[in-house]
Amino acid sequence: MMEVRRPNTEEQRRKQEALVQMHEARWQMLERHPFIGHLAMHLELRAVTDCRLDTACTDGTRLYADAAYFLDLSPEQRVGIIAHEVWHCALRHLFRRGDRDRKRFNYAADIETDLLLTKDGFSIDLLPYDDSWIGQSAEWIYERIPDFLAQYQTPDQHFYPPPKLPFVPPSGDNEPGDAASSSSERDSGSSADAGKKEKQPSADAKKSFVHDPDFQLSFDEEEAQEWEQIMEEEASKARGRGELPAHFEQYIAPAKKRAQDWHSLLLSYVTTLFSSELQWIPPSRRHAWQKLYLPGHPRKLYINLVVAVDTSGSVMEELSHFLTELEALAHSFGDYKITLIQCDAAIQSVREITNDNPMSLDGLAFQGLGGTDLRPPFQYVTDHLDELPNVLIYLTDGDGPAPAQEPPYPVIWCLTPDGERPATWGVALKMSRR
């Protein structure tokens, strides 16, 4: 008799390790491909160890990845597979199959998705395709796939509603009602490399089947319908930041709302760091060099910000507006700590603001107005703060030297209307003219 069991201690450890890497890959995508990265923030990430999932999949609200599979990928491949699942959600492939053949539609959906990602600069191992398929829908491609291509295994697994997972019974026999799902779901494509045979389980793996309680597909069509609105909202924000690739416009319905201005974007971006059940816990200082951002379950919502203000002359006209919005942002959290650093060519002042010692804009003096060097606030964090911030927000025109090395925490460059991002890393939000 074969054993059906839950993940053991070592598998749980690997799941935690993979989850950390999933969050790191999403952060990398947010920096390098901001539009898709912001879309990815709407999916809960889950690393699992389950005999029914070999690679990765999504149900429209969660992105699942097999821990061993994900850890075996290169950093570029990790970013690519997350982007791949995001576009399955954004294009609503989960609800477009209808009565079409599963394997053939899986292939068509992956071609539509990966051709988009390739155009956006992702490194993707494409399934075989014809040039005439570029820019076409999965339904159009479906009608033109040769039979021999439809047998290729797609890079991820595709599950469709209703949420039935293949059941692996201890006796090796199908339970009543599971015969169809047990066979059809396994046809969904599960190899990391197109065209290769499925990996064969080891002798030990054949003796037991793991059912992970964290692997729970839940297809909610109402929530999936929200992806149209999510696409519109994130596209509107991306346009405002100048970060929406032109070739994505045809996939986005006309925006029903005007583009949000920078302070709404800032609030939206910061709150996404706390939008799921898992909250980023900054690394201890001895692990900072490893960028070990760990998810946890905090008892109370708390945000620790470092806010650096470039007090050179060109920034001052935006300063009061920035601080007013910063005050509103801080009050949107229960507990907060803001380390406010004024810096021109050197640090001029440092002030700590908390919910018990709130910021008052009245009488707040600003010093400096000299040249610009953006590096001192980052050095201050390294030298003087006991814990690394959840986010460092820098108000600047970008006209000054920034650290060559990316710090081990998220950075938002809040740029003046004519400002330019001073580094290739970090997320840039540009203030609109009033």
**Greater model confidence, 299 or 100:** 100
What are the tens digits of pLDDT across the range 305-352?
Answer: 899 998 876 666 667 667 766 766 666 666 788 899 999 889 989 988
pTM of the prediction? Answer: 0.54
Q: Residue 230: which residues within 8 A CB-CB, separation 6 or more?
A: 39, 42, 90
CA separation (Å) from 153 to 80, 126, 206, 291, 316? 17, 12, 22, 34, 57
Instruction: Mark residue 189 as left, alpha or beta (left: phi above 0; alpha: psi -120 to 50; beta: remaining).
Output: left
Q: Residue 356: its pLDDT value, please?
A: 80
86/231 Cα distance (integer angstroms):
11
Residue 394 burial class via C-beta count within 10 angstroms: exposed 0-12, middle 13-18, buried 19 and up: buried
What are the tens digits of pLDDT across the range 372-426?
Answer: 899 999 999 999 999 999 889 999 989 899 999 999 988 889 888 888 889 988 8
Report the CATH architecture of 262-430: 3-Layer(aba) Sandwich (3.40)
Q: Residue 284: its pLDDT value, please?
A: 40
Q: Residue 277: its pLDDT value, please?
A: 37
* Phi, psi (degrees; rounded to nearest 5) at 51: -65, -10
55/374 Cα distance (integer angstroms):
42
Q: Residue 316: its pLDDT value, please?
A: 66
Helix (H) or strand (E) holding 119, with range, is helix 102-119
Q: Residue 335: its pLDDT value, please?
A: 75
Q: Residue 296: its pLDDT value, please?
A: 41
The SS3 assignment for 203 reads: helix
Nearest-CA neighbor of 312 among 401, 382, 391, 385? 401
Whether the per-residue pLDDT at 8 is higher than 60: the answer is yes
Q: Residue 40: its pLDDT value, please?
A: 92
Instruction: Mark residue 177 as left, alpha or beta (left: phi above 0; alpha: psi -120 to 50; beta: remaining).
Output: left
Residues of each domain in the chain carrying CATH 3.40.50: 262-430
CA distance between the termini of the chain: 71
Q: Residue 10: its pLDDT value, please?
A: 94
Confirm if 150 and 67 have CB atoms less than 8 A apart. Answer: no
266/246 Cα distance (integer angstroms):
23
Which token pair is 55?
């690679």
